[in-house]
């Protein structure tokens, strides 16, 4: 079977070999095992169902949520000599009927549909008449309410599984599923755990860095100047900050485009095309930009703000270097980013999602403070095996000596215990810094023996140190109405002097002025 797959790979797509993971996945699908694929954007998920579709009798049904992506995929397949079609809300009734005739006559190998179609009973009755050997579910995390993009229409897929006498083989694909989300997909689509493939998260041409406490605007100007001839994307968290970075760059004489949800569609398309056609090198955008954009020569992705979770970060950062050439992904962190994201999460309609969103946010904050290999952190977050450290990221190449900070860590941990493990990071930092703020005095914390015990640092440095201890899993953040800190079991070992804490020597930053954040 796999030799037939290879033949299709060569004749239809012009590639000589499968990427790591693709062979096992395709083999598993061709053996009629329902399969879950977790592979990052650009990893090569599409071939994992397109090749089996060509090897199987009948029409493979592909559920895909994005109209623009659907069209691109179908155009690409048709240009490779494969008969494919799509049905979504952009088609007229007659066009839909024409596609369905093609499908019924057995001519179409791949039919892409939007999930909303499945809510139409008549359409499902028509589907029931055709031979569907394989059901591919793209962006499968949309089926899970714990995913970052839950779509209720995806739930109709479950009924689809029972539409035919012979159940089609199922392949669900996503770029971003945490353990929780993948367990949910497995359960909702009855996929066995052993048929789950997590692969390809390492991107060997990307080097990651996180910069704390930089003057973001000055940094961006300097970076963009040094990379003047390269294409890059700068992501910001809000429309307002996109506008301000965009203005700053244009005022400084750089030609940048902008893209966010508050612009007219016409203007967005215009700006997007200028970037795709290399008329502007820099695109300043919110996360609204990038879905389905296949610009391969993006040399850097800068994040002006920390995104709300690792899923979004890796998806956005992963738009760099799709051509395989070395590219940089730099995240400029400031503590106000955390507040912005907390505020945005708090706006959620569905209150029950908030604890999950906060948990994801904490993993993102940990990423910004860890001193471990950043690539390994990402790979492990997505459940893939990290293997060796990347040797390229800012942490791997950072050769500042490590200092023994066990005593300072003990001071922080002890302060948290003395405050009853009921307060958050900012107040703990204020107590350790010896602040006489209203809140400190209100709780009488100036009387604690740990009050002012880290006076040599300012409250911001202490807050960063606390974040570092959280990323080392010595402190746990508990989500309630307000996030509170408590001590983990390893934290207790540190307090008892059974475990050491090492941290890189403080970095000297040229300027620590914070720009106006959103
Ligand atoms: P994803 O859906 O995971 O984001 P795609 O399926 O769009 O990724 O694949 C990304 C790119 O990699 C595409 O240009 C695709 O043609 C290419 N690709 C996929 N598999 C292979 C392969 N085995 N050999 C060479 N290129 C491949």
Residue 18 C-alpha to ligand 1 middle, in angstroms?
Answer: 10
* Predicted confidence (pLDDT) per residue in 266-318, tens digit: 999 999 999 999 999 999 999 999 876 778 899 999 999 999 999 899 989 99
What is the per-residue pLDDT across 423-466, written as a single tens digit (0 to 9) for each?
A: 999 999 999 999 999 999 999 999 999 999 999 999 989 999 99
SS3 481: coil
Compute the distance from residue 108 Cα to the ligand 1 centre, in Å.
Answer: 22
Q: Give percent of the chain with pLDDT exceeding 90.
A: 72
What pLDDT was estimated at residue 513?
41
Of ligand 1's listed atoms, the one at least distance from the Cα of 46 is 6
What pLDDT does residue 150 have? 83
40 CA: nearest ligand 1 atom:
3
**Cα 15 to ligand 1 centroid, rounded to whole Å:** 10
Please give the average per-residue pLDDT across 251-279, as a whole number: 94
pLDDT at position 511 is: 41
Is residue 485 within 8 A of residue 365, CB to CB? The reply is no
Which DSSP letter does residue 195 get? G
Q: What is the mean pLDDT of the chain?
A: 91
Distance in Å, CA 360 to ligand 1 centroid: 28
pLDDT number for residue 515: 41
The secondary structure of 323-378 as a DSSP string is TSS-EEEEEEE-HHHHHHHHHHHHT-S-GGGHHHHHHHHHHHHHHHH--S-HHHHH
The pLDDT assigned to 510 comes to 44
Q: What is the mean pLDDT of residues 211-237?
A: 95
Cα separation, 282 vs 463, whole angstroms: 33
Q: Ligand 1 mean position to 322 CA, how many Å?
A: 10
Reported as a single tens digit per residue, the pLDDT across 501-513 is 999 887 654 444 4
Q: Can you spell out the DSSP letters for 121-171?
A: HHHHHHHHTS---EEEETTGGGG-TTSTT--GGGGGHHHHTTSSSSPPEEE
Pick the residue whose CA is nearest to atom 16 on ligand 1: 44
User: Exposure pattern of 249-258 as b/e (b: 16+ CB <10 Å)?
Assistant: bbeeebebbb
Residues paired with 259 in a beta bridge: 285
Taking CA atoms only, the protein residue closest to ligand 1 atom 18 is: 44
Pocket of ligand 1 from Cβ distances under 6 Å: 15, 18-19, 22, 39, 41-47
Bridging pattern class, strands 206-212 and 231-235: unpaired
Ligand 1: which atom is nearest the Cα of residue 45?
3
Cα of 19 to ligand 1 centre, how many Å? 9
Atom of ligand 1 nearest to the CA of 39: 3
Q: Which atom of ligand 1 is nearest to the CA of 48?
A: 6
| Ligand 1 midpoint to CA 46 (Å) | 7
Amino acid 176: pLDDT: 77
For residue 281, the CA-to-ligand 1 centroid distance in Å is 25
Average pLDDT on 359-363 reads 92
Residue 169's beta-bridge partner residues? 134
How many helices (H) does the chain have, and how many strands (E)? 20, 17
Q: How confident is the model at residue 149 (pLDDT cuts 50, 70, 90)?
A: confident
What per-residue confidence (pLDDT) applies to 480? 76
For a mutational test of ligand 1's pocket, the pick from 5, 20, 47, i.e. the residue with the most ligand atoms closer than 8 A to its C-beta, is: 47
Alpha carbon nearest to ligand 1 atom 23, residue? 18
Residue nearest to atom 10 of ligand 1 (CA): 42
Of 391, 461, 403, give the one whose Cα is nearest residue 202.
391
């Amino acid at each position: 079977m796999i030799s037939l797959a290879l033949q299709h790979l060569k004749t239809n797509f012009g590639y000589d070999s499968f990427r790591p993971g693709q062979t096992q996945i395709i083999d598993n699908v061709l053996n009629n095992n329902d399969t879950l694929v977790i592979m990052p954007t650009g990893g090569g998920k599409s071939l994992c169902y397109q090749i089996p579709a060509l090897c199987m009798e009948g029409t493979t049904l592909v559920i895909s949520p994005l109209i623009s992506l659907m069209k691109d995929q179908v155009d690409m397949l048709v240009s490779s000599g494969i008969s494919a079609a799509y049905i979504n809300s952009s088609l007229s009734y007659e066009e839909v009927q024409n596609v369905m005739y093609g499908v019924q006559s057995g001519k179409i190998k791949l039919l892409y549909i939007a999930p909303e179609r499945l809510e139409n009973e008549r359409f499902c009755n028509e589907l029931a008449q055709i031979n569907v050997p394989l059901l591919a579910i793209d962006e499968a995390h949309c089926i899970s309410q714990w995913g970052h993009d839950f779509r209720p229409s995806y739930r109709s897929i479950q009924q689809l599984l029972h539409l035919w006498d012979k159940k089609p083989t199922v392949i669900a694909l996503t770029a971003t599923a945490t353990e929780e989300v993948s367990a949910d997909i497995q359960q909702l689509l009855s996929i066995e755990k052993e048929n789950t493939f997590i692969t390809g998260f390492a991107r060997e041409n990307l080097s990651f860095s996180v910069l704390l406490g930089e003057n973001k605007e000055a940094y961006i100007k300097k970076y963009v100047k040094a990379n003047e001839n390269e294409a890059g994307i700068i992501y910001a968290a809000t429309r307002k900050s996109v506008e301000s970075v965009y203005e700053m760059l244009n005022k400084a004489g750089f030609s940048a485009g902008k893209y966010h949800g508050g612009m007219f569609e016409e203007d967005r398309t215009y700006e997007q095309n200028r970037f795709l056609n290399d008329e502007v090198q820099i695109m300043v955008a919110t996360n609204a930009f990038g879905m389905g954009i296949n610009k391969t020569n993006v040399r850097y992705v800068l994040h002006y703000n920390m995104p709300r979770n690792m899923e979004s970060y890796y998806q956005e950062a992963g738009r760099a270097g799709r051509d395989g050439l070395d590219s940089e992904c730099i995240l400029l962190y400031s503590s106000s980013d955390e507040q912005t994201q907390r505020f945005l999460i708090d706006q959620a309609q569905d209150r029950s999602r908030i604890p999950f969103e906060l948990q994801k946010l904490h993993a993102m904050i940990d990423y910004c403070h860890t001193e471990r290999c950043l690539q390994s952190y990402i790979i492990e977050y997505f459940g893939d095996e990290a293997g060796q450290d990347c040797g390229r990221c800012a942490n791997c190449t950072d050769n500042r000596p490590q200092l023994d900070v066990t005593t300072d860590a003990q001071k922080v941990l002890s302060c948290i215990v003395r405050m009853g493990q009921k307060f958050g990071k900012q107040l703990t930092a204020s107590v350790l810094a010896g602040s006489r703020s209203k809140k400190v005095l209100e709780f009488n914390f100036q009387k604690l023996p740990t009050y002012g015990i880290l006076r040599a640092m300012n409250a911001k440095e202490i807050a960063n140190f606390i974040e570092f201890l959280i990323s080392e899993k010595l402190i746990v953040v508990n989500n309630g109405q307000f996030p509170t800190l408590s001590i983990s079991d390893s934290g207790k070992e540190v307090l008892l002097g059974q475990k050491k804490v090492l941290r890189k020597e403080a970095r000297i930053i040229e300027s620590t002025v914070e720009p106006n954040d959103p």
